[in-house]
Chains A and B, each alone.
Chain A
Amino acid sequence: MAPLTDIATKGRKVEGHRPWPRVVVTKEVWRLAIQEFVEARATLLGLWGDTGAAHMALLDEASNDILVVTVEGREFPSVGKLHPPAIRLERTIRDLYGMNPVGLPDTRPWLDHGVWGVKHPLGARKRSSGPAAPYTFLPVEGEGLHQIPVGPVHAGIIEPGHFRFTANGETVVRLEERLGYVHKGIESLMTGASIDKAAQLAGRVSGDSTVAYALAFSRAVEAALGVEVPPRAVWLRALMAELERLANHFGDIGAICNDASFSLMYAECGILRERTLRASNACFGHRLMRDRVVPGGVAADLAKDCVEGLRALVETVRRRFPELIEIYDNTASLQDRTVTTGYLSPSLAREFGAGGYVGRASGRAFDARKAAAYPPYGELDFTVPVFDKGDVNARVWVRIREIEQSLALIEQIIERLPKGASPDGASPKGTSPMGTLRADLGTPGEVREGIALVETFRGDVLVSIRIAADGTIARCHLRDPSWFQWPLLEAVIEGNIVADFPLCNKSFNCSYSGHDL
């Protein structure tokens, strides 16, 4: 029997949880589920708190089956005790809900820096006062070691977080991250909010992935409510998602090279990124396409005459980008910085279920566009590039190959975009654009649950949602891909020189805001 099916039969199935099943299990079965991670038969997709319960999403990578298991009560056996990828998630559950993962090896607070004025903001709230206790970093002992504290305010135009390096000379012995600085309490703001308001919040979890987040949230809502999205809207969503991927990958490749002081690539990739944003703006009226994906469909159709702009963009990239790849690949001083730097082993990538270019540069081929095969990707022709060297260079190459795939996807989408509208993009006379591009959500009249897995440019985002009978959000959890990538950054920097940290960091490009939530 498939491992997840075995666990599913041992629990009480929850009706109305779609599309993948959720079962309520005993602590014994919860322990069996943990064992699936330990024995590498399942991957941890998410672990989050709820009122009086903890949920855990498991993925069977052989069959792409997903199962959510729930354990009730204020205590549950720690997953992190046996499976390290869960440690920060459990520290977060402690902070937000005051629940106790029994046996959790690291009980320091994670997102709670002691200044919110409340404890357990999503659980039984308690007022807290007084100065925050100082945070204890892990001890590092040895001769000739020194520490380098960096952040939360960094030198560049980037998000805040704290990095504590311990180095011996130039060599990093240990990096410890401290995050949570941009925790905005988004899940708390969503509770009780209307679906539309919550969708806007979802689109502001991580600004670079606003399309993918809005899509993941919308798909979870649509699964819960059983809503069918109009075909043209489905394809427009994919167009936006691929434009977003393209823009971010250009930005990342340029920024990685810039961290090796190779500013030519930075400038050239910056031009391609800007052209992508401008084409997106011409089509959808917003450079980042924020609030364009909405539950039920999309907020607006393509602007008139913008398809030519998209074709021109694809043509420009096809013409300019190969020259840049050639420069990247043939510049010894640049290769010297990226090749063998920041090595991530395939076994760690697999254990942590690292998504996106982090996983795919270390042999883990998982891509939610294939695994969850949400429409229209099942009908589109594309491959998922995988490398096995696990270094900064491999993470650059995944992006290069994904840019090529995204270009091909954009071409296929504009070629095959379902009509529902006249060829120039405008809606035919007599039909309301909302009618053809956004399905009505209705009011459920009962509690509904949905879950969605969507591929952002940096990996898979998981959204779990419970909608109350009146159509407001009862609970929504959004798990950024960075949760399983940040800890790996600590691992890959070990033994590298301090000066290579920016390269490693940029090649991961984890989200602070998406993680801190």
Chain B
Amino acid sequence: MRRLLLKNLLRHPVTETAPEPDGAALAELAANLDRAARRKLGRSLAIREVDAGSCNGCELEIHALNNAFYDLERFGLRFVASPRHADVLLVTGPVTKNMREALARTYRATPDPKWVVAVGDCAVNGGIFAGSYAVEGGVRSVIPVDLHIKGCPPTPEDLLKGLLALLEGI
């Protein structure tokens, strides 16, 4: 293990660095996100993820935000284990009827001020699952939503863009 750690120290980090003037979209995003986060929230925004019936595709990409390439925490954005510690609820899925109560309770347990970001096409209005007896049809039908991030699932870049839009807006 020591050998790997040493090698990693000498290796160029895989984390995609932010402020390259000619960098990729992700790099530009990262720079913007960093400035906005600092200004509005003093480098701290706690996110609680709630799966309200997704297929788990969105969760996989939300997870990816934590990997070394995107390294979300460098912007002061971090995922927390309880809604009581959260500023933002990141909600996925069409909201199944069986999750309605749990989602509403999670929202109530989140202290103000709070924002809700609905992630994924089905979180907008139920998407492909709309019309089912078991589905409410979108996050907005249960709790107020501040922002939708579309995609099936949205890529980690899309998710970063969405969080940036939230920071610009609040």
A contact set with B: CB distance below 8 Å? 111, 113, 115-118, 121, 152-153, 155-160, 180-186, 188-189, 197, 200-201, 204-208, 210, 251, 264, 267-268, 270-271, 273-274, 277, 287-288, 290, 323-324, 327, 330-331, 511-513, 516
Contact A182 B54 (CB under 8 A): yes
**Chain B positions within 8 Å of A188 at CB level:** 132-134
**Chain B positions within 8 Å of A117 at CB level:** 97, 133
A323 to B62, CA, bound (A): 27
**Chain A positions within 8 Å of B99 at CB level:** 152, 160, 181-182
* Number of chain B residues close to chain A: CB under 8 A: 49
CB contact under 8 A between A287 and B155, given known A153-B106, A182-B98, A274-B67 = yes
Q: Per a CB cutoff under 8 Å, which of B60, B61, B68, B133 touches A118? A: B133
**Chain B positions within 8 Å of A155 at CB level:** 81-82
Q: Which stretch (B17-25, B28-36, B45-53, B140-148) binds chain A?
A: B45-53
Contact A184 B1 (CB under 8 A): no
B contact set with A: CB distance below 8 Å? 1, 3-5, 14, 49-64, 66-69, 79, 81-83, 93-94, 96-102, 106, 128-129, 131-135, 152-153, 155
Task: Tell me the minimal C-beta distance from A456 to chain B in angstroms.
Answer: 12
A181 to B134, CA, bound (A): 10
Q: Per a CB cutoff under 8 Å, which of B49, B57, B66, B79 touches A288? A: B57
Q: Per a CB cutoff under 8 Å, which of A189, A268, A271, A331 touches B69? A: A271
CB contact under 8 A between A512 and B1, given known A185-B134, A207-B153 = no
CB contact under 8 A between A180 and B98, given known A158-B59, A207-B58 = yes
CB contact under 8 A between A157 and B59, given known A185-B132, A271-B68 = yes
**Chain A positions within 8 Å of B62 at CB level:** 157
Q: Per a CB cutoff under 8 Å, which of B56, B102, B133 touches A207? A: B56
A271 to B16, CA, bound (A): 12
A327 to B67, CA, bound (A): 19
9 closest A-B pairs by CB = A207-B57, A185-B132, A155-B81, A185-B134, A270-B67, A207-B56, A207-B55, A204-B55, A157-B49
Contact A207 B129 (CB under 8 A): no
